[in-house]
């Protein structure tokens, strides 16, 4: 049953399986294990980034396409849900209409970018996507009447997802925040399983063949431009859904939360840390990166207090230098896990002698 649910793509390493199980259980019971709004916000961000990074891995890890426009599709999804909810009022109809419009725009743009740009070399395609993403970010910042400009948009969720909503479920008091979190958890699981199914289908195997040798794939009859374009469209669709999930979680969207180039760099870092071409790397990498991003300052504060009064050492462990330590951790992870954490663990499993 589990094998079929995971599209026969098992972790293939007991330590990886244990880590994935631990992450899934921690996310599933986060509202009860880690009380507090910050912990719930961190868990929600991990779930959103799992979908976002996994969709980008479909491009980079499975097809070999380097794109810098992924945050554009992420932002389109967020703005679609936000604009519809802000203009038409809170309700599932508004969310559905905004999401449908966002998907139509994202899929259309991804199709155009793919058809007109994927025939060129990889570096030129990357530059084209970077230019399009930068133009879209500028457009979102300037269309103040529609997007809220630099201030962004704040809106209300449907009643069931509103923090003020309360109801009884099996004799327990349940509020809107809890319902919103578990709705996000369920949608994330479904989207991740859908991505697993795609990469393990015959279509996914053609994408991997194109990644390994596009000339050979073309020679045996596969139209590589068509497959690359379809991969670009699918990744854009999943990124759009991730953006809508983030907007509904925050009840806000703006250029800095979805469209900034820093988010694109975060996605690239997570893919490299977790392991390209694995999808499970999106789960492990997102959990580690988001936790480090949110709690590294707290750990440095504790370390700085322990080394207070020690020359130089106390200054190194100050919370203000958390970006330095994040960079150090990234360099160490790349050095010790050149194929990513998941790739290294799977390689270690393959290297073990059979009994």
Q: Tell me, yes or no, whether 80 lies in a domain.
A: yes
Contact criterion met (CB below 8 Å) for 84 and 92: no
Q: Tell me, yes or no, whether 5 lies in a domain.
A: no
Residue 85 pLDDT class (50, 70, 90 cuts): very high
Q: Tell me, yes or no, whether 271 lies in a domain.
A: yes
CA 80 – CA 84 distance, rounded (Å) = 6
Q: Tell me, yes or no, whether 4 lies in a domain.
A: no
Query: Residue 100: which domain range?
Result: 11-351
Q: Tell me, yes or no, whether 3 lies in a domain.
A: no
Instruction: Say how many C-beta atoms besides its own lie within 10 A of residue 144's C-beta.
Output: 11
Q: Tell me, yes or no, whether 6 lies in a domain.
A: no
Average pLDDT over residues 178-203: 95
Per-residue pLDDT, 350: 56
> Which tokens sit at 320?
């203000």
Q: Tell me, yes or no, whether 162 lies in a domain.
A: yes
Q: Using the predicted structure, report yes or no on whether residue 154 has a pLDDT greater than 80.
A: yes
Q: Which of 1 and 34 is assigned the larger pLDDT?
A: 34
Total-model pTM: 0.92
Look at residues 290, 269, 242, 262 and name the one whose alpha carbon lies nearest to residue 75. 242
Per-residue pLDDT, 203: 94
Residue 116 pLDDT class (50, 70, 90 cuts): confident
pLDDT digits (tens, 9 = 90+) for 220-267: 888 888 899 999 999 999 999 999 999 999 999 999 899 999 999 999
Residue 101 pLDDT class (50, 70, 90 cuts): very high
Q: Tell me, yes or no, whether 266 lies in a domain.
A: yes
Q: Using the predicted structure, report yes or no on whether residue 353 has a pLDDT greater than 70.
A: no
Contact criterion met (CB below 8 Å) for 126 and 132: no
Per-residue pLDDT, 238: 97
Look at residues 264, 246, 262 and name the one whose alpha carbon lies nearest to residue 71. 264
Give me the CATH number covering residue 117: 1.10.3470
Helix (H, G, I), strand (E, B) or coil at 41: helix
Cα angle value 14/328/255 (rounded, 5°): 95
Per-residue pLDDT, 118: 66
Contacts of 5 (CB under 8 A, 6+ apart): 193
How large a percentage of the chain has pLDDT more than 70?
93
Which of 37-46, 144-153, 327-336 is predicted least confidently?
A: 327-336
> Which tokens sit at 250?
């925050």
Q: Which of 130 and 305 is assigned the larger pLDDT?
A: 130
Q: Mean pLDDT for the chain?
A: 88
Per the structure, the count of domains in the chain is 1
Look at residues 344, 273, 316, 342 and name the one whose alpha carbon lies nearest to residue 49. 273
Contact criterion met (CB below 8 Å) for 317 and 304: yes
Per-residue pLDDT, 354: 44
Average pLDDT over residues 285-296: 90
* Exposed/middle/buried for residue 299 (C-beta within 10 Å: 0-12, 13-18, 19+): middle
Q: Using the predicted structure, report yes or no on whether residue 330 has a pLDDT greater than 90.
A: no
How large a percentage of the chain has pLDDT more than 90?
50
pLDDT digits (tens, 9 = 90+) for 120-131: 667 788 888 899
């Amino acid at each position: 049953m589990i094998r079929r649910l995971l599209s026969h793509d098992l972790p293939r390493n007991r330590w990886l399986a244990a880590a994935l199980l631990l992450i899934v259980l921690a996310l599933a019971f986060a509202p009860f294990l880690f009380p507090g709004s910050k912990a719930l916000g961190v868990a929600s961000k991990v779930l959103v980034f799992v979908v976002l990074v996994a969709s980008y891995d479909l491009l980079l890890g499975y097809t070999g396409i380097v794109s810098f426009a992924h945050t554009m599709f992420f932002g389109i999804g967020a703005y679609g849900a936000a604009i519809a909810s802000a203009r038409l009022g809170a309700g599932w109809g508004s969310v559905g209409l905004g999401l449908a419009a966002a998907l139509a725009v994202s899929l259309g743009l991804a199709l155009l970018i793919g058809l007109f740009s994927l025939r060129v070399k990889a570096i030129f395609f990357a530059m084209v996507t970077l230019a399009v993403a930068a133009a879209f970010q500028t457009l979102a910042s300037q269309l103040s009447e529609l997007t809220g400009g630099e201030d962004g948009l704040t809106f209300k969720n449907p009643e069931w997802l509103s923090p003020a909503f309360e109801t009884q479920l099996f004799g327990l008091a349940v509020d809107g925040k809890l319902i919103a979190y578990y709705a996000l958890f369920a949608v994330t699981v479904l989207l991740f399983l859908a991505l697993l199914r795609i990469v393990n289908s015959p279509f996914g195997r053609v994408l991997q063949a194109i990644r390994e040798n596009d000339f050979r794939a073309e020679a045996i009859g596969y139209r590589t431009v068509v497959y690359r374009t379809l991969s670009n469209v699918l990744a854009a669709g999943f990124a759009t859904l991730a953006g809508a999930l983030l907007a509904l979680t925050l009840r806000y969207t703006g250029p800095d939360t979805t469209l900034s180039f820093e988010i694109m760099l975060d996605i690239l870092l997570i893919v490299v840390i977790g392991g390209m071409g694995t999808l499970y790397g999106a789960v492990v990498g997102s959990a580690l990166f988001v936790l480090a991003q949110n709690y590294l300052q707290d750990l440095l504060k504790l370390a700085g207090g322990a080394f207070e009064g020690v020359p130089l050492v106390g200054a190194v462990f100050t919370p203000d230098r958390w970006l330095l330590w994040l960079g150090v951790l990234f360099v160490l992870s790349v050095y010790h896990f050149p194929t990513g954490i998941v790739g290294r663990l799977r390689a270690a499993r393959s290297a073990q002698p059979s009994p």
